[in-house]
Structure 1
Amino acid sequence: MPYASIGELPDSVRKHVPKHAQEIYKEAFNSAWDDYADKDERRGSESREEAAHKVAWAAVKKKYEKGGDGDWHAR
């Protein structure tokens, strides 16, 4: 389900991703949640939630990268 605030994001996002990237993640997830409501729009048998998380991570990866410390940093 869509996230109303970054405080609702999964722990893996809140603990390791900077605030700006969390905002990107939330907006991308919510948009993809709407875009992939129809099962025919998704690849294979992935759920709506799986598709939305993939889109959200892809959006974050455009401006951030995972460092050797396990946290995400601006490119």
Structure 2
Amino acid sequence: MSQKQLQDLPSEVQQQLNQGAQQIFLAAYNSASEDGMSEEAAMNVAWNSVKQEYEPGEDGQWRPKPEDSHQHHKSVTSGGN
């Protein structure tokens, strides 16, 4: 199965998602398809991937989720010698 390109995405995806979210959707879709998933399953994987970083606005457009100030992205260092 050939990989989809951005212009191959359904119009619903192109209209609702910005370029960054479309890239996430496309990468997840192509990966799931390569793993042998059905088109429906690959679409679900793609939407779930987008939902990790984006959320729908009241106007139907998806926007990046706000940073969670309680989540820390610091590396943990050990105190060993």
- Give the TM-score normalised by structure 2: 0.74
Q: String of CA shifts for 1:1-59, please: whole Å, max 9, x gaps.
A: 631x2111000110110100000000000000011x2xxxx6xxxxx000000000000
Q: Which has the higher contact order (CA 8 A, sep 6+)?
A: 1
- Give the TM-score normalised by structure 1: 0.80
Count of aligned pairs: 64
2:4 matched to 1:14? no
SS of the equivalent of 2:16 reads: coil
CA-based RMSD: 1.2
Greater helix percent: which structure? 1
Correspondent of 2:64 among 65, 70, 74: 74
* Unaligned runs of at least 5 residues, structure 2: 66-81
Identity of aligned residues (%): 42
Q: Which structure 1 residue ranges, 4+ long, deviate > 2 Å from structure 2? A: none
* Unaligned runs of at least 5 residues, structure 1: 43-47
Which structure has the bigger radius of gyration?
2
